[in-house]
Amino acid sequence: MRPLLHLFLSIVAVSLLAACGASGTPVSVTVQESGSTRLVTHRFGVSPAPLNPQKVVALGEEELLADLLDAQVRVVASNANVTESFPGFQAEELEGITIFVSTQANLETIAALQPDLIIGYTIFIDGIGYDKLSAIAPTVAIDSGFDWQQAYRELLSVFGKTELAQSNLDAYTARVAEAKTQLNAQGRPISVGTIYPGPSPAAWVDGPTSVPQLLLDLGFTLSPTPEAVKDLGVRNGRAFFSLERLDLFAADTLILVQSTLVEGEAQALLDAKASPLWAQLPAVQQNRVFELNRFGYPGLRGRNALLTELVALLTP
C-alpha cells in the first residue's frame, strides 16, 4: 500500500492544480427540500439526495469521513490515504465501514454496497467519473476550492445539518481566538516543512493545509514567506527545494509535518538531518524542532486536536 500512497500523493498534487486551473471559480452547493428528497445543485448538476440517507459512500478520504461520522451520518464505505492506520479515529466508529485506498476505487465494490447517496470532493468524483457514480446512486460533489470552512458547511447542508455546521465552526473559531490571545504570537516567524522522499524538502508558506493555516490564524508568520520563495514556485501552499537550501527553514521553531506511512519518507528525513546544514538551523540549535503526523488530524475534529497540540507546543 505504501508505494501506492506515494504515487497517489503525487497524482493528487498535480490533479488538484489542474482542477483548480480548469474549473475556475468553485461552484457552491445549494440545497432545496422537495418532498422526500433534497435537491442538491453542485458542479456536475442536480442530484436528488434522500432526506435521511442510510448507506452513504464517502469519497473525501479521512477528512470527509471524520466530518460525516461526527455529524452522525451513516457511512458504509470511504476512500482513504491508507488502510493500515487511521490516526484520529476510534476503532469502533469504523466498524462496518468498507475502506479502500483512493488509487483502488472499484465501482463494483461501491455498487455492491447499494448506497443511497455518494458524496465526496470534486477531485475524487471527477477522477472516478461522475456519470459512472451517479448511475449507482445520487452523487454530490463538494467543490469549495481552498475554503475548508465553506466545504464543511456545504457538506453538512446536504444532510440538513446547516445549523450544526455553523455551531461547530463558531466553537472552533472561538477556540482559535482564545489560543491566539494566549500565544500572543504577533507575527513571530515559524517554519513549517515536510521532507518528502528523495529527499525533497518543502516549506509550507501558506494555507489551506491545516498546520500552516492554523499557525497563520494564530498570528504567526510562516518563514519563508511566499514572496521569499516565489522564484521556486509555490504549489498548494508549498515551495520545494534541494537539501542545499535547508537554510530556508530560518525561524527559531521548526514544525515538521511528516508521515511514516509514505514509503521512503522516514529515510528522507534521516538524510536531511545528516546534512551539515541541518545542524546550523536555528531551530535545531535551540532544540525547537517538532514533528507532527501529516495524516493525524482528519476533519474538524482533527483541527480541534491540532489546535490543542500546537498551543501545548508553542505556549511561551
Q: Which helix (H) or strand (E) holds 47?
A: strand 45-50
| Bridge partners for 117 per DSSP | 56
Confidence class of residue 2 from pLDDT cuts 50, 70 and 90?
A: very low
Torsion of CA 223, 224, 226, 230, to 10 degrees: 180
For residue 71, the SS3 value is coil
On the question of pLDDT at 9 being above 80, the answer is: no
* pLDDT confidence of residue 146: 66
* pLDDT confidence of residue 81: 86
CA distances (Å), origin 199, targets 71, 187, 241: 39, 30, 10
* pLDDT confidence of residue 8: 39
CB 123 within 8 A of CB 102: no
**CATH class as words, domain 25-162:** alpha beta
* pLDDT confidence of residue 52: 96
Q: What does the longest C-alpha to C-alpha distance in the chain come to?
A: 67
| Distance from the Cα of residue 291 to its chain's centroid | 17
Confidence class of residue 85 from pLDDT cuts 50, 70 and 90?
A: confident
Edge-first strand listing for the sheet containing 45-50: 30-34, 37-42, 45-50
* Tally of CB atoms within 10 A around 247: 12
* Integer Cα distance of 202 and 223 in angstroms: 12
CB 119 within 8 A of CB 139: yes
If you average pLDDT over residues 6-22, what whole number do you get? Answer: 39
For residue 239, the SS3 value is strand
* Integer Cα distance of 138 and 140 in angstroms: 7
Confidence class of residue 84 from pLDDT cuts 50, 70 and 90?
A: confident
* pLDDT confidence of residue 316: 84
Domains 25-162 and 183-314 share a fold: yes
* pLDDT confidence of residue 132: 97
* pLDDT confidence of residue 103: 84
Residue type, 248: L
- b (16+ CB within 10 A) / e for 74-105: ebbbbbbbbeebbebbeeeebeebeeebbbeb
**CATH class as words, domain 183-314:** alpha beta
* 276 cis-preceded (ω within 30 degrees of 0): no
Question: The cell 520563495 sits on which residue?
Answer: 229
On the question of pLDDT at 163 being above 80, the answer is: yes
CA distances (Å), origin 38, targets 41, 46, 195, 256, 316: 9, 10, 44, 43, 49
* pLDDT confidence of residue 82: 79
CB 66 within 8 A of CB 122: no
Joined grid coordinates for residue 287: 532544540
For residue 227, the SS3 value is helix
Confidence class of residue 279 from pLDDT cuts 50, 70 and 90?
A: very high
Q: Between 126 and 24, whose confidence is greater?
A: 126
Task: Enumerate the domain spans of the chain.
Answer: 25-162, 183-314
On the question of pLDDT at 13 being above 70, the answer is: no
Instruction: Characterize the bridge pairing of strands 98-101 and 75-80.
Output: parallel
| pLDDT 10s digits, 19-68 | 443 456 889 999 999 999 999 999 999 999 999 999 999 999 999 999 99
* pLDDT confidence of residue 18: 38
On average, the pLDDT of the chain sits at 91
Cβ neighbours of residue 266 closer than 8 Å, sequence gap 6 or more: 258, 260
CB 238 within 8 A of CB 213: no
Q: Between 261 and 256, whose confidence is greater?
A: 256
